[in-house]
Structure 1
Amino acid sequence: MLDKLVLALVYAARRLCRYFQGHPINVLTGYKLKSVLSKPEFSRRLTKWAIELGEHTIEYNPRPVIKGKVLADFVIEVPQNKEKECLIKQQTPAPPEQVHVWSLFTNGAPSGEGSGVGLRLVNPEGHEFTYAIKLDFKSTNNEVEYKAFLAGLLIAKKLGVQHLEARVDSMSIAG
């Protein structure tokens, strides 16, 4: 196991040699790497790796306990009255049945000559309003999806829609 850990450190030092040469490196580990590398008489590989790692400024420190510390910090930071507020916010009531929710479906496709945007608004009764928009500029797929979403929101606002559920196929736009 120690051989594998030292090998991982050697690979990191080789790949990130500029960082290892320019900065002191702090290795947090639960293993005794410092003692193994200071006395590498066990194998030739360890001797070779110890010499290779010796040219860098590397400190080996024990890994601190994180879980207990994070939990203790969290308990200290959140007062008891805030816990009640968080629980109240989590228990948000379901929307009333009389709310009329519209649905917006968007799709965009970039191309070399220009991009195309397709929109479909569906009202609560099931009537569909379909729109097709041509964008006269080159753009990426995410830009086209974003423009489609913005155009759908603008059309919904002009129609006086109060509650809208948007469905887009781009995760970056949905986020």
Structure 2
Amino acid sequence: MAKWAIELGEHDIEFRVRHAIKGQVLADFIAKTYTIDEEDAKNSTQVITSKVENEEWKLYTDGASSSDRSGAGLMLVNPEGKEFTYALRFEFATTNNEAEYEALLAGLRMAKELMILHLRAFVDSQLVVNQIMGTFEARQPTIQLYLTKAKELIESFKSFNIEHICEAKTRRQMH
């Protein structure tokens, strides 16, 4: 999907995500057509909830900036290994570090919206990883804002780990 987004981006075609319409239709259908007694519903909900609460998702991010455009790629991988790949093109100028933070923030927002509880992020920017972990200090005001927002989003997860991954490995993982 990222490859198509890059190809279509050259022609000013914009991809817009459709929000939870399909999921809501399915939920409405199931609610109208499927009935179970209250005890079965309670038991199945507990099994599903405990399973989801202990599953860790993976997030791979790659932000980039050049003189003519900036963008990011990110991939969420569910516990079963299914990959959800996204490509972002920024309509504003960024530095490489800002693009890396934008990619991370986009991934964190998606994970939060999907109600993921356990997340392990793999980021190709050693600076971003060390700033998130508190090893490095963010000095530029813009980067301080990015760091603050990232930490706010990280608080919404039960567990969060972040690791530096070399750029070549990130690109292999995302393609």
Give the structure-2-normalised TM-score: 0.43
Larger CA Rg, structure 1 vs 2 = 1
**Higher relative contact order structure (alpha carbons within 8 Å, sequence separation ≥ 6):** 2
